[in-house]
Amino acid sequence: MIYKYAINITEKAYLDVFQQFELMISSERKEKVSKFHFDEDKKRSILAEVLLRHSLKKNFGITHDQIQFTNNQYGKPNLKNFDQIHFNLAHSGDWVVCVVSDAPIGIDVEQITTIDMGIAKAYFTSREYKDILSQPKDKQIQYFYKLWTLKESYVKAEGKGLSIPLNSFSFCIQSQAIQMFESNQLSKKYSFQVFNLDDFHIVALCSKKFSEEPISIVSFDHIDIW
């Protein structure tokens, strides 16, 4: 199974709601939040864990006091005492996303902004760079972000962080399928999806299973973590 959730940080919420949320997050997350200078960064980080806790309670009946986190050798967080449950979080711009599954999984969201295509030349494979340039001029940035989020979702699913160079694997995005190649060989380890949350935010999902279920948009009023 795969459970996908998203929440928009620009949704109106009263200060006391966020204060309650902050009380419920882990000590590790509180320490991380305390280092942010901007309120929007704090909101994204708090809501990432809140969204995870919402999913764990709604879909698995795991209560607040049962949730503890550990990290693997690369720093990827996992659930302590629930080895069969895998999760991943991401946030960018106006959105925070969360995915939970019974198999390794990764998700990424990016705000679409103007970028220097030299980034693609530096970090993507030569084939991917050519694929970007082959797109109509007004579609190149969108295609860049499809590749970027796909790559991030894969790296996050593997749980090995920056030890996996982004140009050590590549994607071919077709209308009917997304294919990943390692050492020029087609890899079938994962299934991939890419979609837009709105006109300015794109999401990619890397999972062991394919899920056609749409992502669930959660409002502050319907979050249940207590």
Domains and CATH numbers, the chain: 1-102+210-226 (3.90.470.20), 104-208 (3.90.470.20)
For residue 11, what pLDDT is reported? 83
- Whether residue 120 is predicted with pLDDT greater than 90 in this model: the reply is yes
Residue environment code for 45-72, b if the CB has 16+ CB neighbours within 10 A, otherwise e: bbbbbbbbbbbbbbebebeeeebeeeee
pLDDT of amino acid 103: 95
Token couple for 60 = 């698995």
Q: What is the pTM of this model?
A: 0.95
> What single letter denotes the amino acid at residue 87?
F
pLDDT in the model for residue 19:
84
In sequence order, the β-bridge partners of residue 108 are 204
Residue 65 in tokens? 């006091």
Rounded to whole angstroms, the Cα distance separating 208 from 211 reads 10
pLDDT per residue over 57-107, tens digit each? 999 999 989 999 999 988 899 999 999 999 999 999 999 999 999 999 999
Radius of gyration of the chain (CA): 18
pLDDT at residue 15 tops 90: no
Range list of H helices, the chain: 15-24, 27-34, 39-60, 118-123, 126-133, 140-158
